[in-house]
Amino acid sequence: MVERGVNVPQSYRLVRRDARAERTIVRLSSGATFGGDEIAICAGPCGVESREQLDQAAAAVAAAGANVLRGGAYKPRSSPYSFQGLGEEGLKMLRESGDRHGLGVVTEVLDPRDVEKVSRYADMLQIGTRNMQNFPLLREVGAARVPVLLKRGLSATVQEWLLAAEYVMLGGNESVVLCERGVRSFDPATRNLLDIAVVPLLEGMTHLPVIVDPSHAMGIARLVPPTAVASIAAGAHGLLIEVHPDPANALSDGAQSLDCEQFAELMRRLALVAEFVGRRLPQRVKPSAARANGQRKADGAVRSSKSGVRLA
Ligand code: PEP
Ligand code: MN
Protein backbone atom coordinates (compact mmCIF):
# COMPACT_ATOMS: atom_id res chain seq x y z
CA MET A 1 0.00 0.00 0.00
CA VAL A 2 1.31 3.44 -0.81
CA GLU A 3 -0.08 6.20 1.39
CA ARG A 4 0.86 9.79 0.57
CA GLY A 5 4.25 8.73 -0.70
CA VAL A 6 4.98 6.61 2.35
CA ASN A 7 5.54 2.95 1.71
CA VAL A 8 3.69 0.81 4.24
CA PRO A 9 5.36 -2.59 4.03
CA GLN A 10 3.46 -5.84 4.20
CA SER A 11 5.35 -6.54 7.43
CA TYR A 12 2.95 -4.22 9.25
CA ARG A 13 0.40 -7.02 9.21
CA LEU A 14 -1.45 -6.05 12.35
CA VAL A 15 -0.85 -2.33 12.79
CA ARG A 16 -1.49 -1.15 9.25
CA ARG A 17 -4.56 0.98 8.70
CA ASP A 18 -6.30 -1.49 6.42
CA ALA A 19 -5.78 -4.45 8.78
CA ARG A 20 -8.97 -3.30 10.57
CA ALA A 21 -12.23 -2.03 9.17
CA GLU A 22 -12.45 0.55 11.95
CA ARG A 23 -9.95 2.52 13.98
CA THR A 24 -8.99 1.00 17.30
CA ILE A 25 -10.28 2.61 20.46
CA VAL A 26 -8.20 1.58 23.47
CA ARG A 27 -10.19 1.54 26.69
CA LEU A 28 -8.62 1.42 30.13
CA SER A 29 -10.41 -0.41 32.93
CA SER A 30 -10.87 3.02 34.55
CA GLY A 31 -13.07 3.98 31.59
CA ALA A 32 -10.62 6.35 29.85
CA THR A 33 -10.52 5.91 26.08
CA PHE A 34 -7.88 6.66 23.46
CA GLY A 35 -8.91 6.93 19.84
CA GLY A 36 -12.51 8.10 19.90
CA ASP A 37 -14.04 11.56 20.04
CA GLU A 38 -12.91 11.93 23.62
CA ILE A 39 -9.32 13.02 24.13
CA ALA A 40 -7.33 11.25 26.86
CA ILE A 41 -5.41 13.53 29.21
CA CYS A 42 -2.65 11.73 31.13
CA ALA A 43 -1.01 14.04 33.65
CA GLY A 44 1.11 13.85 36.76
CA PRO A 45 4.70 14.04 37.94
CA CYS A 46 7.67 12.60 36.11
CA GLY A 47 8.47 10.42 39.11
CA VAL A 48 6.51 9.33 42.16
CA GLU A 49 8.52 10.96 44.97
CA SER A 50 6.24 10.68 48.00
CA ARG A 51 2.61 10.04 48.89
CA GLU A 52 2.04 13.78 49.47
CA GLN A 53 3.68 14.92 46.24
CA LEU A 54 1.77 12.36 44.16
CA ASP A 55 -1.57 12.96 45.81
CA GLN A 56 -1.33 16.74 45.47
CA ALA A 57 -0.59 16.32 41.77
CA ALA A 58 -3.40 13.76 41.36
CA ALA A 59 -5.95 15.99 43.10
CA ALA A 60 -4.96 18.96 40.95
CA VAL A 61 -4.98 17.17 37.59
CA ALA A 62 -8.30 15.49 38.40
CA ALA A 63 -9.84 18.83 39.39
CA ALA A 64 -8.61 20.34 36.11
CA GLY A 65 -10.23 17.51 34.10
CA ALA A 66 -7.49 14.96 33.36
CA ASN A 67 -8.61 11.32 33.32
CA VAL A 68 -5.35 9.36 33.68
CA LEU A 69 -2.63 9.80 36.33
CA ARG A 70 0.96 9.40 35.16
CA GLY A 71 4.04 8.94 37.34
CA GLY A 72 7.15 6.79 37.20
CA ALA A 73 7.88 4.24 39.92
CA TYR A 74 10.76 2.77 37.90
CA LYS A 75 12.74 5.60 36.33
CA PRO A 76 15.11 5.13 33.37
CA ARG A 77 17.76 7.71 34.36
CA SER A 78 20.81 8.52 32.26
CA SER A 79 22.97 8.53 35.40
CA PRO A 80 22.96 5.62 37.84
CA TYR A 81 23.38 8.22 40.63
CA SER A 82 20.08 9.99 39.84
CA PHE A 83 16.76 9.21 41.58
CA GLN A 84 15.70 5.78 40.31
CA GLY A 85 12.10 5.74 41.56
CA LEU A 86 10.34 4.17 44.55
CA GLY A 87 9.61 0.81 42.91
CA GLU A 88 6.62 -1.14 44.22
CA GLU A 89 5.93 1.46 46.94
CA GLY A 90 5.48 3.98 44.16
CA LEU A 91 3.11 1.63 42.33
CA LYS A 92 0.94 1.35 45.46
CA MET A 93 0.82 5.13 45.79
CA LEU A 94 -0.19 5.48 42.16
CA ARG A 95 -3.02 3.00 42.59
CA GLU A 96 -4.25 4.69 45.76
CA SER A 97 -4.16 8.21 44.36
CA GLY A 98 -5.69 7.05 41.08
CA ASP A 99 -8.59 5.45 42.94
CA ARG A 100 -9.02 8.36 45.32
CA HIS A 101 -9.36 10.86 42.50
CA GLY A 102 -11.11 8.72 39.88
CA LEU A 103 -8.11 8.53 37.53
CA GLY A 104 -6.71 5.65 35.52
CA VAL A 105 -3.00 4.97 36.07
CA VAL A 106 -0.21 4.79 33.47
CA THR A 107 3.33 4.01 34.57
CA GLU A 108 6.53 2.81 32.95
CA VAL A 109 7.76 -0.75 33.09
CA LEU A 110 11.50 -1.07 32.49
CA ASP A 111 12.18 -4.74 32.99
CA PRO A 112 10.37 -7.75 31.48
CA ARG A 113 10.49 -9.38 34.93
CA ASP A 114 8.34 -6.56 36.36
CA VAL A 115 5.51 -6.69 33.82
CA GLU A 116 3.27 -8.92 35.93
CA LYS A 117 3.83 -6.80 39.04
CA VAL A 118 3.26 -3.45 37.33
CA SER A 119 0.12 -4.88 35.65
CA ARG A 120 -1.35 -5.55 39.10
CA TYR A 121 -1.34 -1.84 39.91
CA ALA A 122 -1.54 0.03 36.62
CA ASP A 123 -4.28 0.42 34.01
CA MET A 124 -1.73 1.00 31.26
CA LEU A 125 1.93 -0.01 30.83
CA GLN A 126 4.27 2.64 29.47
CA ILE A 127 7.20 1.54 27.32
CA GLY A 128 9.68 4.39 27.50
CA THR A 129 11.65 5.83 24.64
CA ARG A 130 14.84 4.01 25.68
CA ASN A 131 13.06 0.68 25.50
CA MET A 132 11.11 1.01 22.27
CA GLN A 133 13.29 -1.67 20.70
CA ASN A 134 13.74 -3.82 23.79
CA PHE A 135 12.23 -6.82 22.06
CA PRO A 136 11.97 -9.14 25.09
CA LEU A 137 10.07 -6.35 26.91
CA LEU A 138 7.80 -5.79 23.90
CA ARG A 139 7.01 -9.50 23.80
CA GLU A 140 6.30 -9.55 27.53
CA VAL A 141 3.82 -6.64 27.39
CA GLY A 142 2.38 -8.26 24.28
CA ALA A 143 1.45 -11.22 26.46
CA ALA A 144 -0.06 -8.97 29.17
CA ARG A 145 -3.72 -8.08 29.22
CA VAL A 146 -3.20 -4.42 30.09
CA PRO A 147 -3.12 -1.67 27.43
CA VAL A 148 0.30 -0.41 26.36
CA LEU A 149 1.54 3.14 25.76
CA LEU A 150 4.42 2.81 23.32
CA LYS A 151 6.68 5.85 23.19
CA ARG A 152 8.68 6.60 20.08
CA GLY A 153 12.37 5.71 20.44
CA LEU A 154 14.95 8.50 20.90
CA SER A 155 15.78 8.47 17.21
CA ALA A 156 13.38 5.86 15.87
CA THR A 157 11.99 6.08 12.38
CA VAL A 158 8.24 5.75 11.94
CA GLN A 159 8.87 2.32 10.44
CA GLU A 160 10.84 1.11 13.46
CA TRP A 161 8.15 2.48 15.78
CA LEU A 162 5.32 0.76 13.94
CA LEU A 163 7.26 -2.51 13.89
CA ALA A 164 7.71 -2.22 17.67
CA ALA A 165 3.91 -1.90 17.95
CA GLU A 166 3.65 -4.95 15.69
CA TYR A 167 5.68 -6.95 18.25
CA VAL A 168 3.18 -6.05 20.99
CA MET A 169 0.16 -6.87 18.86
CA LEU A 170 1.68 -10.12 17.64
CA GLY A 171 1.82 -11.23 21.28
CA GLY A 172 -1.97 -10.87 21.40
CA ASN A 173 -2.23 -7.46 23.04
CA GLU A 174 -4.27 -5.30 20.69
CA SER A 175 -4.52 -2.33 23.06
CA VAL A 176 -1.60 -0.24 21.86
CA VAL A 177 -1.41 3.57 21.90
CA LEU A 178 1.51 5.30 20.15
CA CYS A 179 3.10 8.30 21.88
CA GLU A 180 5.22 10.88 20.04
CA ARG A 181 7.64 12.50 22.52
CA GLY A 182 10.13 14.21 20.28
CA VAL A 183 13.23 12.82 18.61
CA ARG A 184 16.92 13.67 18.98
CA SER A 185 18.01 16.45 16.69
CA PHE A 186 21.13 18.45 15.88
CA ASP A 187 19.84 21.38 17.93
CA PRO A 188 19.85 21.35 21.74
CA ALA A 189 17.64 24.49 21.93
CA THR A 190 14.75 22.25 22.93
CA ARG A 191 15.31 18.88 24.62
CA ASN A 192 14.05 17.04 21.55
CA LEU A 193 12.42 17.98 18.26
CA LEU A 194 8.65 17.47 18.34
CA ASP A 195 7.42 15.75 15.19
CA ILE A 196 3.84 16.98 15.06
CA ALA A 197 3.53 15.92 11.42
CA VAL A 198 3.73 12.31 12.55
CA VAL A 199 0.20 12.60 13.99
CA PRO A 200 -1.62 13.07 10.66
CA LEU A 201 1.00 10.86 8.95
CA LEU A 202 0.21 7.91 11.23
CA GLU A 203 -3.51 8.46 10.82
CA GLY A 204 -3.12 7.19 7.26
CA MET A 205 -0.73 4.37 8.18
CA THR A 206 -2.24 2.70 11.25
CA HIS A 207 -5.57 2.12 12.98
CA LEU A 208 -3.91 2.64 16.38
CA PRO A 209 -4.48 5.85 18.39
CA VAL A 210 -1.66 8.39 18.65
CA ILE A 211 -1.00 10.78 21.53
CA VAL A 212 1.69 13.41 22.11
CA ASP A 213 3.97 14.09 25.09
CA PRO A 214 5.06 17.72 24.68
CA SER A 215 6.83 17.73 28.09
CA HIS A 216 9.68 15.39 27.10
CA ALA A 217 9.76 16.89 23.62
CA MET A 218 10.31 20.44 24.87
CA GLY A 219 12.21 20.10 28.15
CA ILE A 220 11.02 23.66 28.96
CA ALA A 221 7.70 24.17 30.77
CA ARG A 222 6.83 27.41 28.97
CA LEU A 223 6.83 25.61 25.62
CA VAL A 224 4.51 22.82 26.74
CA PRO A 225 1.12 24.62 26.47
CA PRO A 226 1.54 25.86 22.87
CA THR A 227 2.79 22.48 21.64
CA ALA A 228 0.02 20.66 23.52
CA VAL A 229 -2.55 22.87 21.80
CA ALA A 230 -0.85 22.30 18.42
CA SER A 231 -0.89 18.52 18.96
CA ILE A 232 -4.64 18.45 19.56
CA ALA A 233 -5.17 20.75 16.58
CA ALA A 234 -3.16 18.27 14.46
CA GLY A 235 -5.48 15.42 15.49
CA ALA A 236 -3.74 13.75 18.45
CA HIS A 237 -6.02 11.46 20.47
CA GLY A 238 -4.53 12.55 23.75
CA LEU A 239 -1.68 14.12 25.68
CA LEU A 240 0.85 13.08 28.30
CA ILE A 241 1.84 16.08 30.42
CA GLU A 242 4.19 16.33 33.38
CA VAL A 243 2.68 18.23 36.31
CA HIS A 244 4.39 18.73 39.67
CA PRO A 245 3.09 20.64 42.72
CA ASP A 246 6.55 22.20 43.16
CA PRO A 247 8.53 21.91 39.89
CA ALA A 248 11.57 23.76 41.26
CA ASN A 249 12.13 20.95 43.76
CA ALA A 250 11.22 17.98 41.56
CA LEU A 251 13.61 15.01 41.69
CA SER A 252 13.38 14.62 37.91
CA ASP A 253 12.26 16.72 34.94
CA GLY A 254 11.32 19.81 36.98
CA ALA A 255 12.28 22.20 34.18
CA GLN A 256 9.61 20.79 31.87
CA SER A 257 6.90 20.24 34.49
CA LEU A 258 3.87 22.53 34.71
CA ASP A 259 2.71 23.53 38.17
CA CYS A 260 -0.90 22.82 39.08
CA GLU A 261 -2.23 26.26 38.11
CA GLN A 262 -0.41 26.25 34.76
CA PHE A 263 -1.95 22.85 34.02
CA ALA A 264 -5.46 24.08 34.88
CA GLU A 265 -4.96 27.05 32.55
CA LEU A 266 -3.78 24.72 29.77
CA MET A 267 -6.89 22.56 30.20
CA ARG A 268 -9.08 25.62 29.67
CA ARG A 269 -7.29 26.31 26.39
CA LEU A 270 -7.47 22.66 25.34
CA ALA A 271 -11.25 22.58 25.79
CA LEU A 272 -11.54 25.27 23.10
CA VAL A 273 -9.18 23.66 20.61
CA ALA A 274 -10.73 20.22 21.15
CA GLU A 275 -14.14 21.60 20.27
CA PHE A 276 -12.65 23.26 17.21
CA VAL A 277 -11.46 19.87 15.86
CA GLY A 278 -14.68 18.06 16.79
CA ARG A 279 -13.35 16.35 19.90
CA ARG A 280 -13.94 16.84 23.60
CA LEU A 281 -12.02 16.67 26.84
CA PRO A 282 -12.67 13.67 29.13
CA GLN A 283 -16.07 13.37 30.73
CA ARG A 284 -14.87 12.10 34.06
CA VAL A 285 -16.73 9.62 36.28
CA LYS A 286 -16.89 10.73 39.93
CA PRO A 287 -14.54 8.60 42.10
CA SER A 288 -17.39 7.49 44.34
CA ALA A 289 -19.37 6.27 41.31
CA ALA A 290 -16.34 4.38 39.96
CA ARG A 291 -15.87 2.63 43.28
CA ALA A 292 -19.57 1.84 43.59
CA ASN A 293 -19.40 0.14 40.19
CA GLY A 294 -16.76 -2.16 41.63
CA GLN A 295 -14.29 -1.11 38.93
CA ARG A 296 -11.42 -1.19 41.35
CA LYS A 297 -10.23 -2.35 44.71
CA ALA A 298 -8.61 0.27 46.90
CA ASP A 299 -5.64 -1.97 47.68
CA GLY A 300 -4.66 -2.26 44.04
CA ALA A 301 -5.42 -5.97 43.75
CA VAL A 302 -5.48 -7.70 40.37
CA ARG A 303 -8.10 -6.37 38.05
CA SER A 304 -10.04 -7.66 35.09
CA SER A 305 -8.04 -9.13 32.23
CA LYS A 306 -10.22 -7.66 29.51
CA SER A 307 -8.29 -6.76 26.38
CA GLY A 308 -9.41 -3.16 26.54
CA VAL A 309 -9.96 -2.80 22.82
CA ARG A 310 -13.24 -1.80 21.31
CA LEU A 311 -13.61 -1.33 17.61
CA ALA A 312 -15.44 1.87 16.82
C1 PEP B 1 8.70 9.68 31.25
O2 PEP B 1 7.58 9.60 30.73
O3 PEP B 1 8.92 10.16 32.38
C4 PEP B 1 9.87 9.28 30.44
C5 PEP B 1 11.00 8.84 31.00
O6 PEP B 1 9.67 9.44 29.13
P7 PEP B 1 10.58 9.06 27.85
O8 PEP B 1 10.72 7.58 27.88
O9 PEP B 1 9.77 9.60 26.71
O10 PEP B 1 11.89 9.79 28.02
MN1 MN C 1 9.99 12.62 32.81
Tally of CB atoms within 10 A around 136: 11
Q: Tell me the best of 82, 126, 151 to mutate to test the pocket of ligand 1, counting ligand atoms within 8 Å of each CB and taking the most.
A: 151
Flag whether pLDDT at 292 surpasses 90: no
pLDDT tens-digit readout, 82-126: 999 999 999 999 999 999 999 999 999 999 999 999 999 999 999
Flag whether pLDDT at 309 surpasses 90: no
The C-alpha atoms of residue 257 and residue 57 are separated, in whole angstroms, by 11
Q: Tell me the best of 110, 184, 213 to mutate to test the pocket of ligand 1, counting ligand atoms within 8 Å of each CB and taking the most.
A: 213
In the chain the beta strands, taken as DSSP E runs, fall at 2-3, 6-7, 24-27, 33-34, 40-44, 68-70, 104-108, 124-127, 148-151, 176-180, 210-212, 238-242, 309-311
Return the pLDDT at 25.
Answer: 98
Encode 262-303 in three state secondary structure.
HHHHHHHHHHHHHHHCCCECCCCCCHHHHHHCCCCCCCCCCC
Flag whether pLDDT at 299 surpasses 50: no
Task: Find the 212 Cα to ligand 2 centroid distance in Å.
Answer: 14
pTM: 0.91
Task: Find the 288 Cα to ligand 1 centroid distance in Å.
Answer: 31
Return the pLDDT at 304.
Answer: 30
Per the model's pLDDT, the better-predicted residue between 171 and 286 turns out to be 171
The residue among 289, 274, 248, 260 whose CA lies nearest residue 62 is 260
The C-alpha atoms of residue 64 and residue 195 are separated, in whole angstroms, by 27
pLDDT tens-digit readout, 205-234: 999 999 999 999 999 999 999 999 999 999
Return the pLDDT at 284.
Answer: 74
